[in-house]
Amino acid sequence: MENMETTIIHNVTIIADRLIPDGILVTRNRQIDFVGSQEEFHQKRAPTGEWAAIDGAGGYAAPGLIDIHIHGANGCDVLDGSQQAIAAISRYCAQGGTTGFLPTTVTAAADKTLRAAQAVRNFAEEYPVHPAGAQVLGMHLEGPYLNVERKGAQYAAAIRPVDLGELEELYLVLGDNWKLSTIAPELPGAESAIAWLTDRGITVAAGHSTATYDQSLQAFAWGVSHITHIFNGMNPMHHREPGLLGASLTEPGIHCQLVADGVHVHPAAAKLLYRMVGPQRIALITDAVQAAGLSDGNYALGDLAISVRQGTAWLPDGTLAGSTLTMLEAVRNVVDWLGIPLVDAFRMASLTPAVSIGMEKLGWLRPGYKADLLLLDKALGLEQTIVAGTTVYQKQ
């Protein structure tokens, strides 16, 4: 689809605030202009001027997916520190139904993290819409201020004490491109770091943490509003010490990332999460690594060697090390596991992630929102990825 002034998509079931069979979706000037049924369309408006039409062939029109936690893909890692690496990840995203993403670092040396931040900023400025990929919405820094006891697949040698000077350096590079930061809130100095980040509009997530229940509540009071890959990188919930997991499930307004690959989190635990907090608080993520989009073999995650067997990434000691998931696979997984409405499943992969990082007019099929959408077949297979009204991926 070229970015013509007006495009009308028809013969689709639209996944929006409600499921709309035989729907009509109109994009105009890179935005959603109309979402509704055939009857509503003909009652309320008629196209004027030049317009293009797309026949959805009886499939679905769905919101473009937003991945707020992805480390790499197609043989590249965000910490490669190059625009070429970001471009490769962007293409992978578009091919898996993602229209916007946050390139995500793991813990690394300060200079390496700064190079990655500069590459992300440069790419975002050069490609507000990439011709063959998803849009960079900003950056997610996972670390380096994490708890080594729950490091998971983080490079232990680079985990370090909270340093506001380092945050200032990163902010000078990233500015408003810094959207999300993961920190262990029980660390000395975490309160000041959380205040510093939230004062600049950066969403703060708790993760790779041994925080107790009371420490978690305190962190939420300081401004933490987000949980990095819930269930993973934190203490299991105990009935006498619910910990970060228990606080995340029971306190209102906390957004929870979920890796829905069936390995990181058992489907029954995902079902429990959905029943407790609902789609408004679950943000599906891939946590994908450089092996995503490639075959099994030996790869790297930041400074760590990983191996991928049957599509799952591991450290040599058997620790999980990210995934090779796509966002659309994650959506199909939760539909299969949870038996939930398509509206809820797509909300967890689009609108909720956008809201969780403070992005407005993004992540849903509503008039006035950015024209990021997917055309899917009847089995939720991807046919077309559209970013800001421009086709960036077309199934061959």
DSSP β-bridge partners for residue 182 = 142, 205
DSSP-assigned states of every residue in 366-394:
-TTSB--EEEE-TTS-EEEEEETTEEEEE
Contact criterion met (CB below 8 Å) for 301 and 71 = yes
Distance CA 98, CA 38 (A): 27
Residue 21 CB partners (closer than 8 Å, separation 6+): 13, 37
User: Catalytic residue at 163?
Assistant: no
DSSP SS3 for 189: coil
DSSP SS3 for 240: coil
Among the listed residues 80, 261, 287, 372, the single catalytic one is: 287
Residue 214 CB partners (closer than 8 Å, separation 6+): none
Residue 80 CB partners (closer than 8 Å, separation 6+): 72, 116, 119
At 134, list the tokens.
Answer: 């998803």
Distance CA 143, CA 158 (A): 9
Residue 318's identity, in one-letter code, is G
At 366, list the tokens.
Answer: 């509503």
Contact criterion met (CB below 8 Å) for 74 and 95 = no
Positions marked active-site:
287
